[in-house]
């Protein structure tokens, strides 16, 4: 078939010019200048068409032009200038302006009528042009694909945004008044075309339509008993049903110091009852979350390891990252970051620094190699009898050694019973302020070592232990984490102006 014949036939069926190009299989820049592209494809553009094109393309300046009598029978007007305007107005009227994301993604849900009409036109073209139209490969560029080619760039341009798969997701649901009736017909058609598979209305999905509804699987004669071939033009265009926005995931990283020995890492609940009024997670999220999102409870807090409730974390602090879904803002100035750091400081229990937005793909840094990392601790330990020089010498260990550690009794309710090998890299003990009953011991260990049990041995469940090394009872009184072996996120001093 010739392009001209095809276009003449499509025009007689009330198909718009964008769709004519779709049926000429235009898949690129052809849609930028439809008139020229049609001519280039050997289609004579009549006066009538040019005028019609003016109707489709022209903008606001001609309020008195005659109302359109019909909309395209295959796209229901989705590519018309009027509909584009409605779409953009709908997006702007939503909470779109509250999001600062530079990138957007469009997710457009179209009425199933569009798929039915595509199939109807497929049958019509087979009847008209015979075997030149295949039964299992569609004669047109599918509307979904054409929407990406045509509507996406126009909407991005009008909204002054870039297309970005990780950007703000704009979900647009479209409806058309013919859909309900046509889907009812489809349910009947489905019963006739695929007997034995009586699907209810809700079970007929777009995916099913795409898969099952092709001329190779449904007969035109069956189809035509329920829906017309070719599809008929409609007097109303598609309209917007809803616009939903989902902001991008933004990741904010920093380091925290835990200054309190009475603070849990995350909300601590026992049988539904809170054991402590606050937690590191809550203090940080409370100060950082609201800047980014209205759905603060959806924020996820992750850190490179954690401390026990009674353990402080000092030094440069422990890296953490917040994953903030549906974020309205994607940036943080140093000034804003400093204000958040100061707000956390006022808790007196936690202090944070190096707060910054980090690329999403870096957020998992926090978990990588956790098992291999070294941990740096300082333990305050008590003896039952005064320390001897021999004891102090035995607790100066500069070469690494391995211990076998059974799961401590105190965590057995949440961890399985295992014996794990752990490496201790170094031990360095000294007297605290010449008090012979108290030792300060600096310990470097493999991540995952239980330090309290390393000190007292827990009745031989950890061997060797400091107690077994010196042959005397020794207990831990207080523990601080003094360093974390993770050089991330990068250091930033938010108190220095940008």
Q: By CB under 5 A, name the binding residues for Zn ion.
A: 16, 19, 72, 75
Q: How far is the CB of 255 from Zn ion (least distance, A)?
A: 56
* Candidate list 308, 310, 442, 485, residue with the active-site label: 308
Between 16 and 189, CB nearer to Zn ion = 16
Among residues 14, 72, 3, the alpha carbon closest in space to that of 42 is found at 3
Q: What are phi and psi of 355, to 5 degrees?
A: -65, 130
Between 123 and 450, CB nearer to Zn ion = 123
* Residues 380, 440 contacting (CB under 8 angstroms): yes
| Distances from the Cα of 32 to the Cα of 43, 57, 221, 379, 479, angstroms | 17, 11, 38, 71, 68
Between 33 and 203, CB nearer to Zn ion = 33
* Residues 381, 462 contacting (CB under 8 angstroms): no
Q: How far is the CB of 143 from Zn ion (least distance, A)?
A: 8
Q: How far is the CB of 91 from Zn ion (least distance, A)?
A: 21
Residue 107's beta-bridge partner residues?
171
Buried b / exposed e over 174-198, threshold 16 CB at 10 Å, is bbbebbeebbebbbebbeebbeeee
Determine the Cα–Cα distance for residues 444 and 455; give it in Å rounded to an integer. 13
Q: How far is the CB of 137 from Zn ion (least distance, A)?
A: 20
* Residues 309, 261 contacting (CB under 8 angstroms): yes
Q: Any idea what DSSP says for residue 170?
A: E
Q: Is residue 487 flagged as an active site residue?
A: no
Q: How far is the CB of 78 from Zn ion (least distance, A)?
A: 7
Determine the Cα–Cα distance for residues 255 and 272; give it in Å rounded to an integer. 30
Between 27 and 298, CB nearer to Zn ion = 27
Work out the number of other CB atoms within 10 angstroms of the CB of residue 424: 20
Between 218 and 234, CB nearer to Zn ion = 234
Q: How far is the CB of 80 from Zn ion (least distance, A)?
A: 8
DSSP 3-state of 166: coil
Between 116 and 387, CB nearer to Zn ion = 116
Q: What are phi and psi of 394, to 5 degrees?
A: -65, -25
Active site residues: 308
């Amino acid at each position: 078939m010739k392009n001209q014949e095809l276009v003449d036939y499509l025009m007689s069926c009330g198909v718009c010019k964008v769709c004519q190009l779709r049926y000429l299989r235009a898949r690129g820049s052809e849609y930028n200048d439809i008139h020229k592209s049609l001519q280039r494809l050997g289609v004579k553009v009549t006066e009538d068409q040019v005028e019609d094109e003016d109707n489709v393309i022209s903008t606001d300046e001609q309020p008195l032009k005659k109302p359109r009598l019909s909309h395209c029978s295959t796209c229901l007007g989705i590519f018309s200038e009027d509909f584009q305007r409605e779409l953009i107005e709908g997006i702007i009227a939503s909470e779109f302006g509250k999001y600062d994301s530079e990138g957007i993604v469009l997710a457009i849900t179209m009425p199933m009528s569009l798929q039915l009409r595509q199939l109807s036109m497929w049958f019509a073209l087979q009847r008209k042009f015979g075997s030149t139209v295949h039964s299992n490969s569609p004669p047109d560029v599918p509307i979904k694909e054409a929407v990406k080619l045509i509507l996406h760039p126009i909407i991005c341009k009008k909204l002054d945004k870039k297309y970005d798969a990780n950007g703000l997701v704009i979900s647009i649901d479209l409806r058309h008044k013919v859909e309900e009736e046509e889907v009812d017909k489809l349910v009947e058609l489905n019963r006739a075309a695929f007997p034995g598979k009586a699907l209810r209305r809700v079970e007929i999905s777009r995916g099913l339509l795409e898969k099952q509804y092709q001329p190779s699987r449904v007969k035109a004669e069956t189809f035509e008993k329920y829906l017309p071939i070719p599809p008929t033009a409609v007097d109303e265009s598609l309209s917007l049903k809803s616009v939903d926005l989902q902001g991008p995931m933004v990741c904010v990283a920093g380091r925290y110091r835990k200054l309190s020995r009475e603070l849990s890492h995350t909300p601590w609940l026992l049988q539904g009852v809170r054991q402590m009024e606050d937690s590191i997670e809550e203090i940080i999220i409370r100060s950082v979350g609201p800047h980014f999102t209205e759905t603060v409870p959806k924020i996820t807090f992750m850190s490179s390891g954690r401390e026990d409730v009674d353990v402080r974390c000092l030094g440069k602090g422990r890296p953490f990252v917040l994953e903030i879904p549906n974020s309205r803002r994607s940036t943080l100035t140093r000034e804003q970051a400093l204000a958040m750091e100061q707000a956390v400081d006022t808790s007196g229990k936690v202090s944070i620094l190096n707060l910054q937005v980090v690329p999403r793909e870096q957020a998992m840094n926090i978990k990588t190699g956790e098992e291999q990392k070294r941990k740096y601790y300082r333990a305050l330990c008590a003896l039952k009898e005064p320390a001897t020089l021999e004891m102090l010498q035995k607790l100066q260990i500069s070469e690494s050694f391995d211990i076998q550690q059974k799961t401590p009794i105190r965590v057995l309710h949440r961890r399985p019973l295992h014996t794990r090998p752990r490496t201790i890299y170094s031990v360095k003990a000294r007297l605290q302020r010449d008090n012979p009953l108290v030792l300060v011991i600096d310990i470097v260990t493999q991540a995952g070592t239980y330090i309290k049990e390393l000190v007292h041995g827990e009745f031989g469940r950890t061997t060797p232990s400091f107690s077994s090394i010196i042959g005397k009872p020794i207990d831990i009184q207080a523990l601080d984490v003094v360093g974390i072996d993770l050089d991330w996120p990068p250091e930033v001093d938010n108190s220095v102006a940008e």
